[in-house]
Structure 1
Amino acid sequence: MFLHVQKLINEIVPDEPDPAAANALQEGLGGQFGEMRTMIQYLFQSFNFRGATGKPYRDLLYGVGTEEISHVELIGTTIARLTDGSPRYNGKATKPVDEPGKGGATPLSDALSMGNIHHYLVAGQGALPVDSAGNPWSGSYVYNSGNLVLDLLYNLMLESTGRLQKCRIYEMTSNKTARATISYLIVRDQAHENAYAKALESLGIDWGRTLPIPKTDAERFPEVKKLLDQGLHLKQYTFSADNLSEAGKIYRGSAPAAVGGGTLSTEQMPDGFPMDIAVERPEEFAPGLDPDLLALVQATAELELADADDPGSNGASASPATASTKSAVKKK
């Protein structure tokens, strides 16, 4: 089973809308080396794992795969914020309606000149399961050979390539919202490189000669250096609610020198950051629950509660509740 905590794994820093940066981030979400790929690949390797004596390796895959779910959540939410705008980007009341920033809106006219038009045309100013060219994410990306060594080697290559691409995306934008998320993912990719490199070393494999890790010099990015100084690249989360994970048997001791060195440790999960729900987007015909809809919801809920409190009703008032709701809708 999986549990969901209503917190983001990293803080989304507010800044102005940037649809172009949002589209670049789509590569980190739905591209061949993106977060959707790592999430599905590691979890399927976990589901298909064989051999009870290899439980620490399975648990390591489970922990990283579960974390990748939170990365999909983080990057998807970041893309939505970049297309939607932010609380401090309010524009000027005197500007025409079709100019960016009027009333906090990101007008649909932006969709014709910036980013991915499908963020507006299809997704209501939200993320999509596609890459930066708009190609749909494909399950054919997933590598699950059934051979532990091959899977670990492939995973190490996947994390290294993902980190390389995120360093490039970082350089493409100065937007604080985008860079905060990108920097966090760069550092966590390094932690996952440590995980798979350490697992291969425990199996007696000199992976450093087989697959040298590309040097990205990411510590020159201020946001990345701050996280590295905190040791975030040396922690691996188990996300094990019952604390039965044995991933700590592998993710411990000295980190591989080729990915930075240091001392590795495991934790159950990070504290997380508050998760807010985005504001309604009337220009997308996605207004949320307006007062009329809320009134209908409340009326229906009150009828259903009254029905539940009446032990002799046996659901008899269900039809009147539905009829009442339909009647209210027709009146509108």
Structure 2
Amino acid sequence: MYFHLQQLINPIEQDEPDPAAANALQEGLGGQFGEMRTMMQYLFQSINFRGPSGKPYKDLIQGIGTEEISHVELIGTTISRLLDGSPRYQGKPTDPVDEPGKRGATPLSIAVDHSNIHHYLVGAQGAMPVDAAGNPWLGSYVYNSGNLVLDLLYNLMLESTGRLQKCRLYEMTANKTARSTISYLIVRDQAHENAYAKALETLGVNWRTSLPIPKTNAEQFPEVKRLLDLGLQSKQYSFDLGDQSEAGKIFQGMSPSNDGTELDASQQAPQGAPLDIAPERLEEFAPGADKELRALIEATAAMEMAQIDMDFGPMKSS
């Protein structure tokens, strides 16, 4: 079972909207090496895992796959905030639709000359399951061979390529909203590289001679360096409310990154950050929920969280 804590896994900095950066970030979400790929690949590998004696490996893959769900949420929310830049609808709240083109205004003119028009035409200024070229995400990206060593090698390659691409994304934009998320994902990709590299080492695979982790010198990025100084690249979370994960049997010892840190799998989940719902976009005819429905949603969420605390105890975090 999966539970959702209504927080982002990492804070998103505030900055000006940037549709071009949003479109570039779509590669990190729905591209071949993006967060949707890692999420689906690891979850399918863990679902299809065979061999009770290999439970620590299953738990490691499943824990990372669960974290990737939060990465999809984080990068998708970031894209949405970067797109939230059209002039605000100026009609009366009581009016269902404003006068089209009032006083010569074209509220969505930004859509025709900035990056992906589908962000406005189809997605109402929100993230979509596509890459930076607008190609839909494909289930055929998922690699699940059933062979543990092959899967771990492929996962290591996937994380390495994902980190490489995110380093390129970082250098494409100075937008603080984009960089805060990109930097976090760079460091967590490194943590996942460490996890799969360590797992391969426990199986006797000398991965360094065949698949070296690419040198990106990402520590030169100030936002990345701050997270590395906190040791975030050497932590792995279980996201296991029942405390039954055995991933710590693998994710331990000195880091394969050779940065002098020691791997730590003792934490259930990171602390998280507030998750604020974006404002309504009436020029997109996307008014959101009315007050009565919002109250019902909030009351239901509070009841669900209270029941989880009763059944499993409060979520433990760093």
Q: Indicate how the Cα distance of structure 1 residues 85 and 243 shifts in structure 2: closer, same or farther if over 3 A, else same.
A: farther
Aligned mates of 2:279, 2:232 — CA distance in 1: 32
**1:221 counterpart residue number:** 221
Structure 1 residue identity aligned to 2:281: R
Aligned to 2:98: none
Instruction: Give unmatched runs, 5+ long, in structure 2.
Output: 89-102, 297-318
Where relative contact order (Cα < 8 A, 6+ residues apart) is larger, the structure is: 2
Q: 1:121 offset after TM fit, Å?
A: 0.3
Q: How does 1:159-174 map to 2 (within 5 A)?
A: 159-174=159-174
1:4 aligns with 4
Is 1:110 the counterpart of 2:101 in the alignment? no
Q: Any idea what the Cα deviations from partners look like across 1:91-138, whole Å, max 9, x if unmatched? A: xxxxx8848xxxxxxx41111111211110001100000000000000
Aligned residues: 280
User: For residues 219 and 29 of structure 1, what CA distance do their matches in structure 2 show?
Assistant: 23
CA contact (8 A) 2:194 2:257 kept: no
Report the counterpart of residue 148 of structure 1 in structure 2. 148
Aligned counterpart, 2:263 = 264
Match of 1:59?
59
CA distance in structure 2 between the partners assigned to 1:52 and 1:288 by the alignment: 46
The corresponding residue for 1:68 is: 68
Match of 2:49 in 1: 49
Offset at residue 262 of structure 1 (A): 1.4
Matched, 1:130 2:130: yes
1:289 positional shift: 3.4
Aligned-partner Cα distance in 1 for 2:264–2:224:
20
Quote how far apart the aligned CAs of 1:257 are. Answer: 3.8
Q: Deviations along 1:258-312, whole A, 9 cap, x unmatched?
A: 5x3410001100010000111000100011235xxx47x69x9xxxxxxxxxxxx
3-state SS in 1 of match to 2:236: strand
3-state SS of the aligned residue for 2:264? strand
- CA separation of 1:210/1:5 partners in 2, compared to 1, >3 Å: closer, same or farther? same
Aligned to 1:325: none
- Give the structure 2 partner of residue 281 of structure 1: 281
Taking the aligned partners of 1:12 and 1:85, their CA distance within structure 2 comes to 16
1:230 paired to 2:223:
no
Measured in 2, the distance between the counterparts of 1:85 and 1:162 equals 28
Q: Within 1, Cα distance between the matches of 2:81 and 2:104?
A: 20
- CA deviations 1:150-201 (Å, max 9, x no partner) are 0000000000000000000000000000000000000000000000000000
Letter in 2 for 1:262: T
Partners of 2:150 and 2:12 in 1: how far apart? Answer: 35
- Matching residue's letter, 2:135: N
Q: Which residue of 1 aligns with 2:19?
A: 19
Partner of 1:241: 241
TM-score (norm 2): 0.85
Which residue identity is paired with 2:255?
Answer: A
1:187 is aligned to: 187
Preserved contact between residue 236 and residue 264 of structure 2 (Cα < 8 Å) = yes
Distance 1:236 1:149 in 2: 20
Instruction: State the AA in 1 paired with 2:183.
Output: S
Identity %: 72
1:85 offset after TM fit, Å?
3.9
Partner SS, residue 10 of structure 1: coil
CA 1:115 to 1:252, structure 2 compared with 1: closer, same or farther past 3 Å?
same
Paired with 2:112 and 2:153, the residues of 1 have a C-alpha distance of 42
1:69-84 aligned at under 5 Å gives the runs 69-84=69-84
TM-score, length-scaled by structure 1: 0.81
Alpha-carbon distance between aligned partners in 1 of 2:38 and 2:195, rounded to the nearest angstrom:
14
Q: Distance in 1 between matches of 2:188 and 2:257?
A: 17
Match of 1:330 in 2: none
- 2:61 partner letter: L
**RMSD of aligned alpha carbons:** 1.9
Structure 1 alignment gaps of length 5 or more: 91-95, 100-106, 301-332
Distance 1:177 1:98, change over 3 A: farther
SS state at 1:195 partner? helix
- 1:230 deviation in Å? 0.4
Structure 1 residue runs of 4 or more that deviate by more than 4 Å after TM superposition? 96-99
Take 1:288 and 1:49, find their aligned partners in 2: how far apart are those partners? Answer: 40
1:165–1:204 Cα change, 3 Å: same
The residue number in structure 2 matching 1:321 is: none
Taking a change above 3 Å as real, the CA distance of residues 226 and 20 of structure 1, as seen in their structure-2 partners, is same
